[in-house]
Amino acid sequence: MSTQTKYYSEIRIYHDNGNKLIEKKISAYVFKPE
């Protein structure tokens, strides 16, 4: 679960840049248990 928080942090950074495409890509990783 610690990994999920890490990915969430990255989404915020990408969102700041306005990269919605990247934001969605990272979101998929958060849902995946990999």
Give pLDDT, residue 27: 65
Where are the domains positioned within the chain? 2-31
Low-confidence ranges of the chain (pLDDT < 50): none
Give pLDDT, residue 13: 61
4: its two tokens: 């999920």
Q: How far is residue 33's CA from residue 18's CA, in Å, rounded to a whole number? A: 26
Distances (CA, A) of 16 to 2, 10, 23, 25, 32: 22, 10, 10, 15, 23
Give pLDDT, residue 4: 59
Q: How far is residue 34's CA from residue 26's CA, in Å, rounded to a whole number? A: 12
Look up the pTM and report it: 0.26
Give pLDDT, residue 14: 58
